[in-house]
């Protein structure tokens, strides 16, 4: 072509070229490729994040499974320990009940005469000591009655010792019927008994003692092959301000008792501040 011949794009009125569109398409394609790459990168990033989250979820799930397993094992251990503790508590409760029963039995043995059911000598003295302290605070009346079963040895010699035991039990029953609930009555030794009467004057004590003497001689005691009756000798006195201790008052009641026995038995002798006289 001759150099004087104009190029097509130089021809007048010709403002369109196929190459222009191609260039624009190529430019748009490049832009789309860039965007697609960005989208793809976003997808890759999202997939990576999802994979990371998935792995984290699986890790947390494994941790949760281990924790649940550990918790289950811990619950089993606690349940086993709770059962052992329950059994231990039951054993301790049983042991405590046995100890309480033993303590009660020992207290009963120490305070109650096995044969008569009355207080033992030691316990009646202990209770008498309490009554003495209360008397010294209030300065009212506190009387003592010492009792001895007459001819008790003859009962044993005639009917045997088992008969003597029956006599002691029968007399204890008479005592329980005669004395008041506030009175303290105990077996002082052998066939001898001591009664402590709080808030009771010597005159009132002698009235109670006479009732005991009368009811005793009227009591018929059934033995294995026979029946018998008994009498008692009684010494009565009252606690005095001059007494240094309860033992001194008991000694005075004992003196009165032996005077009753020496005067013929089945009677009451008393000793008070005015000297002594028969009740």
pTM for this one? 0.65
What are the residue numbers of the active site? 191
The domain locations on the chain are 18-111, 121-278
Distance of CA 160 to the CA centre of its chain: 46
The pLDDT value given to residue 3? 52
Q: Which tens digits make up the pLDDT trace of 173-186?
A: 999 999 999 999 99
Calpha distance 52→119 (Å, rounded)? 90
Q: Which tens digits make up the pLDDT trace of 12-61?
A: 555 556 566 677 777 777 777 777 777 777 778 777 877 887 788 888 87
Average pLDDT in the 146-159 region? Answer: 93
C-alpha dihedral, 121 to 123 to 129 to 130, nearest 10°: -150
Task: Please tell me the class of the 121-278 domain.
Answer: alpha beta
Q: Which residue has the higher pLDDT, 61 or 232?
A: 232
The pLDDT value given to residue 220? 94
Distance of CA 83 to the CA centre of its chain: 23
Residue 76: pLDDT over 90: no
């Amino acid at each position: 072509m001759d150099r004087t011949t104009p190029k097509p794009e130089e021809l007048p009125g010709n403002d369109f070229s196929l190459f222009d569109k191609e260039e624009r398409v190529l430019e748009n394609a490049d832009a789309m490729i860039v965007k697609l790459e960005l989208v793809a990168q976003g997808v890759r990033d999202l997939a990576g994040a999802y994979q990371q989250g998935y792995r984290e979820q699986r890790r947390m799930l494994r941790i949760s499974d281990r924790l649940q397993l550990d918790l289950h094992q811990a619950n089993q251990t606690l349940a086993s320990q709770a059962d052992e503790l329950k059994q231990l508590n039951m054993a301790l409760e049983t042991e405590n009940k046995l100890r309480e029963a033993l303590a009660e039995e020992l207290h009963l043995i120490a305070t109650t005469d096995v044969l008569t059911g009355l207080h033992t000598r030691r316990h009646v003295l202990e209770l008498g000591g309490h009554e003495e302290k209360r008397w010294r605070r209030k300065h009212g009346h506190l009387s003592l009655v010492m009792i001895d079963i007459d001819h008790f040895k003859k009962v044993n010699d005639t009917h045997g010792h088992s008969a003597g035991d029956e006599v002691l039990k029968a007399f204890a029953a008479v005592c329980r019927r005669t004395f008041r609930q506030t009175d303290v009555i105990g077996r002082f030794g052998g066939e001898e008994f001591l009664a402590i009467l709080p808030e009771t004057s010597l005159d009132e004590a002698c009235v109670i003692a006479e009732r005991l003497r009368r009811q005793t001689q009227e009591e018929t005691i059934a033995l294995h092959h026979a029946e018998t009756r008994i009498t008692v000798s009684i010494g009565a006195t009252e606690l005095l301000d001059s007494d240094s201790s309860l033992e001194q008052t008991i000694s005075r009641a004992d003196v009165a008792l032996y005077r009753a026995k020496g005067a013929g038995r089945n009677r009451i002798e008393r000793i008070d501040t005015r000297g002594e006289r028969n009740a």
